């Protein structure tokens, strides 16, 4: 049942006003639906993808900056270890690409072990590891990028045995993965990468108490693709265009 008069059926001022109101209401309804649908769809346009292939990660990114810990100095003549206590963490050394590494572990420190620190079965390159932990919670690491990025990857592991590692990004994404290698026990590290439509500035790594995280190297850059808002704006434009066409059709009846 119609609740207002059409322009064609109304000659007077009151009728014209009601007729215009009818057209406006028929225009507003699809506009509101378009906006609501677009907003609801916005969260689906923003996502973070996990990749475990370094080749796949490199193929999906541009402008990658890579870093490792070979340039970090060690404090003794034998070059066996380097201690960088929290909260200062590890930063300011060539090759780190402006990335900082910190831990909130009570009494903890971010260390760099030289290659084969624990013997010939240990990693053959310098690597980042936590030490001097006096708490009972998870062993944690916070990696802070110099600016917001949409791609980050690293070769990681645990020091003593295989376990589960949890990663969290500052854009709200988190995931837990099984770590099948242990660097000091004849194992090594494995790669994990994050490709996101929502930029992030920090990455946290947590492993169970007493396992000690290990980071061999890292890379960050851009994951090409439509910006999170691009698809949303296109969707809004498409739906609003349809609403305008419908409104014009109503005004000629």
pLDDT at residue 52, rounded to an integer: 96
**pTM of the entire predicted model:** 0.71
Classify burial at 216, counting beta carbons within 10 Å of its beta carbon; exposed 0-12, middle 13-18, buried 19 or more. buried
Q: Report d(CA 208, CA 192) in Å as an integer.
A: 18
pLDDT at residue 201, rounded to an integer: 98
| 3 state DSSP class of 208 | coil
Stretches where the chain sits below pLDDT 50 are 1-25, 27-28, 31-45, 76-80, 227-240, 243-245, 247, 250-251
pLDDT at residue 43, rounded to an integer: 43
pLDDT at residue 73, rounded to an integer: 73
pLDDT at residue 84, rounded to an integer: 61
Q: Report d(CA 77, CA 109) in Å as an integer.
A: 20
Given its phi and psi angles, is residue 35 left (phi above 0), alpha (psi -120 to 50 degrees) or beta? alpha
pLDDT at residue 119, rounded to an integer: 85
* Full set of structural domains in the chain with CATH: 13-44+229-251 (no CATH), 61-223 (2.60.120)
| 3 state DSSP class of 196 | strand
**Beta strand pairing call for 81-85 and 190-207:** unpaired
């Amino acid at each position: 049942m119609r609740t207002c008069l059409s322009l064609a059926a109304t000659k007077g001022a009151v009728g014209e006003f009601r007729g215009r109101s009818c057209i406006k209401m028929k225009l507003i309804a699809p506009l509101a639906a378009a906006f609501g649908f677009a907003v609801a769809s916005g969260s689906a346009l923003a996502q973070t993808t996990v990749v475990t292939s370094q080749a796949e990660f490199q193929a999906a990114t541009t402008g990658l900056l890579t870093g490792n810990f070979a340039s970090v100095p060690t404090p003794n003549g034998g070059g066996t270890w380097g201690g960088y206590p929290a909260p200062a963490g590890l930063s300011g050394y060539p090759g780190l690409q402006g990335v900082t590494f910190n831990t909130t572990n009570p009494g903890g420190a971010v260390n760099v072990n030289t290659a084969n620190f624990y013997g010939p079965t240990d990693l053959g390159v310098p690597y980042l590891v936590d030490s001097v932990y006096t708490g009972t919670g998870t062993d944690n690491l916070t990696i802070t990028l110099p600016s917001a990025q949409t791609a980050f990857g690293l070769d990681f592991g645990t020091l003593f045995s295989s376990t589960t590692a949890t990663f969290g990004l500052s854009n709200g994404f988190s995931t837990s993965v099984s770590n099948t290698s242990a660097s000091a026990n004849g194992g090594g590290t494995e790669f994990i990468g994050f490709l996101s439509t929502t930029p992030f500035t920090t990455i946290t790594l947590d492993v169970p108490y007493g396992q000690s995280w290990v980071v061999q190297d890292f890379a960050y850059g851009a994951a090409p693709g439509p910006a999170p808002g691009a698809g949303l704006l296109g969707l809004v434009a498409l739906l609003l265009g349809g609403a305008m066409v419908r409104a014009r059709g109503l005004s000629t009846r």
